Amino acid sequence: MPREFQFQVSPEVAANESLLAQHVAKLFQVSPKEIQKVVVVKRSIDARQKAIKINVKANVFLVGEPFVEQKIELPDYPNVANKQEVIVVGAGPAGLFAALQLIELGLKPIVLERGKDVRGRRRDLKAINRDGIVNEDSNYCFGEGGAGTYSDGKLYTRSKKRGDVDRILELLVGFGATPEIMVEAHPHIGTNKLPQIIQDIRERIIACGGQVLFETRVTDFIIKNNEMQGVVIQNGNVISANKVILATGHSARDIFELLHKKGVQIEAKPFALGVRAEHPQELIDQIQYSCDFRGDYLPPAPYSIVKQVNGRGMYSFCMCPGGVIAPCATAPGEVVTNGWSPSKRDQATANSGIVVELKLEDFKPYAKFGPLAGMEFQKAIEQKAWHLAGETQKVPAQRMVDFTQNKVSKDIPQTSYVPGTTSVELGQVFPGFLTQIMREGFVQFGKSMRGYMTNDAVLHAPESRTSSPVRIPRDPISLEHVQIKGLYPCGEGAGYAGGIISAAIDGEKCALKIAACLA
C-alpha cells in the first residue's frame, strides 16, 4: 500500500521529480533507489514567509509495491440518437455538461447555441478588439463554450462537494486538459487551450447521437397550462420537447426580458460591480513573494483581497496573473471589461476585477422595471461608460492613486486592453455611493498589500458582469421552475453558479433530475 505524506519543499524541489524523490527518501529514511514513484495528489504555494514553500500531498510507492499509472478515461457514452429528447439552451459549461450527463443517462440532448462554434467565434472577437464591432450573438460571452472559453478557464470553486468537482475535472482531463488540473489548488486551463477541449466535447455529443445547433437563438418558449412544450428559434421554426434546460449565461438579457414578458416568474438578484485593475505582473510578484525576482520555479503571482467598506464587501474577482483585459460587451452602445490568462500566464501584466457588493435597495431608481431593475442598473453604467469613453469600445480609465484623489489622469499608459482607453474621472461612471466605497477601499487595499496602491496601476471601467442580475427561481428538490413544469433554470444565468466548475456541476444536477423524472 502506498504511504500518504504531506510536506513542504522549495519551489525548485517541487518542480523536479528526481529532487522530490530524494526529499521523500529522507522522510522515509531510505535510499532514493528504493523510491519507485511519488504521485503528487495536491499542490499549493505557501508564500506567508520570506522563504516560499510548496505544500505537497503525495502517495509514495516503494520498489516492489504494486503501482499502476492511473489513467483517466471518459464514461462509456451510449448512442442516444433515437432516445427521448431534451432541449438544452446554451452551450456554455452548464449546457455542455448537462448534455454529456443526459447522454450518459440515455437521453438525447438538443443543444441550441445562439453564437458560433468555438473556432468561428475568433473572427468576431477580433472585430470587437480591432474595430469595435459588437456581434450580439457571437462575442466573449456568447458562443460555444460560453464566457469561460475565451475569458480565462479558471477551474477554482469554493464548492464543498469535492466528489462533484473531481468528476468535472476528470471529464475535462478525459477531453484533453492537462492532468495537472487534478493536482493544483487553483487549477487553470487557459484561453489558448480551452477551445480544443470544448470542440472535442461537442464532437462527442454529436457522435453519440445528440445535436448541437449553432447560430440558433431562442426567441420564444411554448408553454401550455404552465408546462413546457418546446421553443421557437429565430427563423420561426419550432423545436418540441417537454423538458428544457435553460443554461443561457449571465448576459442573456433577451431571455430575461422574454421570461418577464411572458409572465414567467423571475426575480432581481444582488451582484457585484466595479472596475478591472491592471498592474505590472513584476510588481505583483514582488508584493506577493517578497522578492525582487520570482525566479524560474514560481508561477506569476495571483492575489486575493477583501475588505469591508461602509458595510459593503469590496474584493478582488477573477484575478488573472500574466493576463490581459478584454472587451466583453454583448450589444452596441455599451462597454464591459473582463480578464483572461493564457495557459502559461506569460503576459507582462496582472489584472483583477475589483468589485463592490450591491444590494437590492441600490436598484430602487429602476424599480419600474420590476425584477429587471438590477439588469437596468447594470446596463445604465455600461452605456454611460461607452458614452464617456468616446462611443467606441475604448473604456474609461484612470490611474489608481488619481482615482482615490478624484484627479483626472494626465495620461494613461498603454494597457493590455486592445481597443484602448480614454482618460476619465471614474466617479462620472458610477453612482456616488459606489465611487466613495471604491476610493476608500483602494486605500485600505494599499495598506494590506504595500505597493499595490500606485499610479502604475490603471483602473478600467466597468467590471459589471460578475454574475447574473436575475435569479430564475426553481424548486430546491426537483430543480424545475417554481411555476413552469419541465423548465430547468440552470447555471450562472439562472443564478445558481459562479464559474466553469459550479456551472458544470449544476448542469449535471439538472440532467440527473430530468432522468429521474422520466424514469
Residue 158 has pLDDT above 70, yes or no: no
Size of the chain, expressed as the number of residues it contains: 519
Q: What percent of the chain has pLDDT over 90?
A: 87
Q: What is the CATH number of the domain that holds 36?
A: 3.30.70
Q: Please, are residues 341 and 152 in contact by the beta-carbon 8 Å criterion?
A: yes
Mean pLDDT of 303-308: 96
Residues 301 and 430 in one domain: yes
Q: Mean per-residue pLDDT for 77-101?
A: 98
Q: pLDDT tens digits, residue range 458-509?
A: 999 999 999 999 999 999 999 999 999 999 999 999 999 988 999 999 999 9
Q: Distance (Å, rounded) from C-alpha 94 to C-alpha 363? A: 28
Task: Please report which confidence band the pLDDT of residue 163 belongs to, taking 50, 70 and 90 as the band edges.
Answer: low
pLDDT tier, 54 (very low <50, low <70, confident <90, very high otherwise): very high
pLDDT bin (cut points 50, 70, 90) of residue 174 is very high
User: With bands split at pLDDT 50, 70 and 90, how would you rate the model's confidence at 153?
Assistant: low
Average pLDDT of the residues in 380-397 = 98
Clarify whether residues 118 and 230 are in a common domain. yes
- Domain assignment present for 11: yes
3-state SS, residue 376:
helix
The DSSP output letter for 130 is I
pLDDT of residue 440: 98
pLDDT confidence of residue 3: 85
What's the pLDDT tens digit per position in 368-387? Answer: 999 999 999 999 999 999 99
Predicted confidence band of residue 45 (pLDDT cuts 50, 70, 90): very high
- 152 band by pLDDT with thresholds 50, 70 and 90: low
Q: How far is CA 4 from CA 58, 162, 188, in A?
A: 6, 19, 25
Statement to judge: residues 327 and 237 lie in one domain: no
Q: Per the structure block, which three cell numbers stand in for 289?
A: 513573494
Residues 150 and 281 grouped into a single domain: no
Instruction: Using a cut of 0.85, tell me whether the model's pTM lies above it.
Output: yes
Q: Is residue 75 part of a domain?
A: no
Structure confidence at residue 299 (pLDDT): 93
pLDDT of residue 25 exceeding 60, the answer is yes
Average pLDDT over residues 407-412: 97
> Does 320 have pLDDT greater than 70?
yes
Report cis status (omega within 30 of 0) of the bond before 299.
no
Write out the residue range of the structural domain in which residue 439 sits.
272-463
> Residue 452 and residue 319: Cα distance in Å, rounded?
14
Q: Please state, rounded to an integer, the average pLDDT across all residues of the chain.
A: 94
Take residue 30 and report the three cell numbers written for it.
Answer: 531510505
279 pLDDT higher than 80: yes
User: What is the CATH number for 241?
Assistant: 3.50.50.60
Per-residue model confidence (pLDDT) at position 50:
84
Q: In this structure, is residue 495 part of a structural domain? A: yes
Average pLDDT over residues 308-331: 96
pLDDT of 156 higher than 80: no
| Confidence (pLDDT) at 159 | 59
- In this prediction, residue 351 has a pLDDT band, given cuts at 50, 70 and 90, of very high
Residues 335 and 433 in one domain: yes
- Is residue 73, in this structure, part of any structural domain at all? no
Domain assignment of residue 301, yes or no = yes
Number of domains making up the chain: 3
Query: Of all residues in the chain, what percent carry a pLDDT higher than 70?
Result: 98
Asked if 56 and 159 sit in the same domain, the reply is no
pLDDT at 149 over 90: no
Please state the rounded mean pLDDT for residues 319-345: 94
Nearest to 495 by CA among 464, 515, 466: 466
- Is residue 77 in a domain? no
141 has pLDDT over 80? yes
Beta strand pairing status for 267-268 and 470-471? antiparallel
- Looking at the fold, whether 237 and 100 belong to one and the same domain comes out as yes
On whether residue 122 sits in a domain, the answer given is yes
